[in-house]
């Protein structure tokens, strides 16, 4: 995750307790966080018992000042069975929209730095690349192929995915993995935030004043989530994030 806000907004300015309380087994997860990087902070969440932090995280040494928020990476040891464990180095990035093309072009160097810093095992870098729309031309990755600059790596998030909460269709969020890991990976999927019943967010947002007053009319009080308009669902989903989460099954 990226864009973790400063305290006291542990859950974010507009997500509040209705979202924080939606995860009933939060005590089963471990958080690995970067230092503050610019106006944000990167965070990895992993399930206890299944994943262990294997190497302290590090921030990409961006001496040339290419990245608005330099990528952050950490290495994990993943338990795939009682006896077997495998190592995975995960990097994350959040590009500046106006500099997305330049930042993406530097990611091969970031991946090389990850290899040199964290050693063997599998590698991937995920995050908000802003890799679509007016910020980046998908034609650069025709047929979802990365091209020669990313030799040895593959794109796990096809150009056809829609990762935005907004009504437009853009694949801003991407996952790039080493080709060996990619060959055994499942298909990437988008988890639509508006598929969750967020009626509690509407109630809390109306009480605290962080949702559009239009959503606070009496008609919504009697309405089931499935009867909300698509626009209303997107507005409430955007209180969590303007991006839908992207997931993929990895087999090391």
Q: How many Å apart are CA 23 and CA 59, to the nearest integer?
A: 29
Tell me how far the alpha carbon of residue 205 is from its chain's centroid: 24
Give the whole-angstrom CA distance, residue 136 versus residue 156: 17
Q: CATH assignment of 29-194?
A: 3.60.10.10
* Average pLDDT for the chain: 88
pLDDT in tens, 140-172: 998 889 989 999 999 999 999 999 998 888 999
- Mind listing the pLDDT tens digit for each residue in 27-41? 687 888 888 888 888
Domain boundaries, given as residue ranges, for the chain:
29-194
Decide: 221 and 206 in contact? Cβ < 8 Å.
no
φ, ψ at 222 (rounded to 5°): -100, 5
Provide the pLDDT confidence category of residue 10 given band limits of 50, 70 and 90: very low
> What is the rounded distance in angstroms from the CA atom of residue 85 to the CA atom of residue 73?
19
pLDDT, residue 5, reads 56
pLDDT band at 14 (very low <50, low <70, confident <90, very high): very low
Query: Is 99 exposed, middle or buried (CB count within 10 Å of its CB: 0-12, 13-18, 19+)?
Result: middle
Residue 216 to residue 207: CA distance in whole angstroms: 9
pLDDT band at 12 (very low <50, low <70, confident <90, very high): very low
Q: Residue 197 in 3-state DSSP?
A: coil
CA distances from 74 to 3, 41, 46, 189, 193 (A): 17, 14, 12, 23, 27
């Amino acid at each position: 995750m990226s864009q973790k806000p400063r305290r006291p907004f542990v859950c974010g300015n507009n997500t509040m307790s209705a979202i924080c309380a939606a995860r009933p087994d939060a005590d089963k997860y471990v958080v690995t966080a970067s230092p503050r990087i610019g106006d944000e902070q990167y965070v990895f969440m992993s399930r206890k018992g299944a994943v262990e932090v294997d190497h302290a995280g590090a921030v990409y040494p961006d001496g040339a000042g290419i990245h608005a928020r330099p990528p952050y990476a950490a290495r994990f040891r993943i338990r795939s069975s009682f006896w077997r464990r495998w190592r995975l180095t995960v990097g994350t990035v959040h590009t500046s929209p106006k500099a997305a093309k330049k930042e993406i072009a530097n990611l091969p160097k970031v991946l090389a730095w990850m290899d040199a810093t964290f050693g063997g095992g599998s590698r991937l870098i995920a995050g908000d690349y802003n890799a679509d729309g007016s910020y980046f031309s998908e034609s650069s990755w025709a047929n979802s192929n990365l091209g020669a600059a990313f030799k040895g790596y593959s794109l796990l998030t096809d150009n056809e995915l829609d990762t935005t909460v907004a009504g437009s269709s853009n694949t801003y969020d991407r996952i790039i993995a080493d080709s060996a890991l990619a060959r055994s990976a499942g298909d990437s999927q988008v988890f639509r935030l508006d598929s969750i019943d967020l009626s509690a967010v509407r109630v809390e947002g109306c009480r605290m004043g962080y949702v559009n007053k239009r959503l606070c009319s009496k008609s919504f009080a009697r309405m089931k989530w499935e009867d909300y308009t698509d626009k209303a669902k997107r507005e409430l989903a955007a209180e969590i994030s303007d991006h839908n989460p992207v997931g993929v099954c990895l087999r090391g």
